[in-house]
Structures are given as structure tokens and as C-alpha cells.
Amino acid sequence: MRNARSEAGFTLVEILVVIVIVGTILSIAMLSFNLAGNDEDLKSESRRFSALAEVALDEATMQGREFGIEVMTGGYRFVEFDALAGHWADVPGDDTLRLRALPPELEFDLFIEDKRIQLDDDPAPFEDPDKNSSLAATYSYAPHLLIYSSGDTTPFELHLYRELDDLRVVLRGDALGAVEAVNPDDE
């Protein structure tokens, strides 16, 4: 003959303990894989790029300087055209427009005139004006995006994404220097 207690099944306390344990394990797993929808890195990096592009545009128009932005897969740098020397160089003495690296899990894709631009992992070397070799004559450094002293800029579309969970922010820059975040799902 069976005991009535053995046929009753699980108690409410046992079921609640199992639910709490499973919930805790799932939340820890989601946080460790960053799958909880945390896209704050994407948002802050896209805001930083937009703000720095605006700073460069303001400096270009107010000071009559020509700037450029070189985009790499994991970062970007601002450069300035030295009209006297006739070449591009780092922006001297300006910590705001320095080389910027993205967090390791984020990357860029750049599109100009709807064409995907092949990005390098590291900044390209500047040309050396002291070298008069045939290689120096054929290679001329140029940034991907130009910011003119007139206020005009290179129109572009910059995708900032995290491959792990395929989260993406798309920045569009127009010819007048405005940079805005657009929703890639609306296209």
C-alpha cells in the first residue's frame, strides 16, 4: 500500500526554490554574455563620434582649417591638412581630436556614396615629405571623411555594431555637417 504523501507531488516551496534557482542562473548567464539588451556602449560611442565631428566642424569653420576623419575597424582619428607643408598630419596640441579606440567588442563599417569602404585595423601612415621615392609619389595619405573650412563635409553612413548580438547604430552625415543616428530597421 502506498503512502498518501508520496503521491502528493511537489510542494509549493520546492517549486518556488527551483524557479528562483533557474531565474538566477539565467540572469547571470545573460549578463555574462551581454545579451540582456545592454546597448549603452553603442549609444555612448555613437554620441561621442557625433559630438567630436561637430567640434571638428566648428573648429574648421571658425578657424579656417581643413580636417579629416580616418575610420578604422576599431576606432577613428582626426587629422588636419597642413597647407604650408601640403600634407595631412595629426591635429597638434588638441587632446579632444586625438585617436579614439572603440571598446573591444565594437566595430565600424563605413559607407560613402552607398559603397562599403574597406577599413584597416590600424591608422594609415602619413606620407614622409623627406622621402622622394617612387613609392612616396604613388601613395598619398587621405582621410575617409573631409571637413572643410566652408562647413561642407563628406556625406557618409557609419555603422557601429557589436557582432556578438548584432546590435547596430547607424550614423548618417550629410554634406552640411549634420550627423544623426537613424534606426537601421526602418530601411
Q: In angstroms, rounded to a whole number, what is the distance separating the alpha carbons of residues 47 and 148? A: 21
pTM of the model: 0.74
Roughly how many angstroms between the first and final C-alpha of the chain, as a whole number? 69
Domains delineated in the chain:
40-186 (3.55.40.10)
Whose grid coordinates read 554574455? Answer: 33
Question: One digit per residue, pLDDT tens: the chain, 187 residues?
Answer: 555 555 667 888 888 899 999 988 887 876 666 554 457 888 899 999 999 999 999 999 999 999 999 999 999 999 999 888 888 999 988 889 999 999 988 999 999 999 999 999 999 898 765 555 544 444 588 999 999 999 999 999 999 998 888 888 999 999 998 899 887 665 5
- Are 82 and 65 spatial neighbours (Cβ–Cβ below 8 Å)? no
Q: 94-117 burial, b for 16+ CB within 10 Å, e for fewer? A: eeebeebebeeebbbbbebeeeee
Q: In angstroms, rounded to a whole number, what is the distance separating the alpha carbons of residues 183 and 78? A: 26
Residues 6+ apart with CB under 8 A from 116: 109, 110
Helix (H, G, I), strand (E, B) or coil at 67: strand
The secondary structure of 3-43, three-state, reads CCCCCCCCCHHHHHHHHHHHHHHHHHHHHHCCCCCCCHHHH
Q: In angstroms, rounded to a whole number, what is the distance separating the alpha carbons of residues 8 and 149? A: 81
- Are 111 and 157 spatial neighbours (Cβ–Cβ below 8 Å)? yes
Q: In angstroms, rounded to a whole number, what is the distance separating the alpha carbons of residues 156 and 138? A: 26
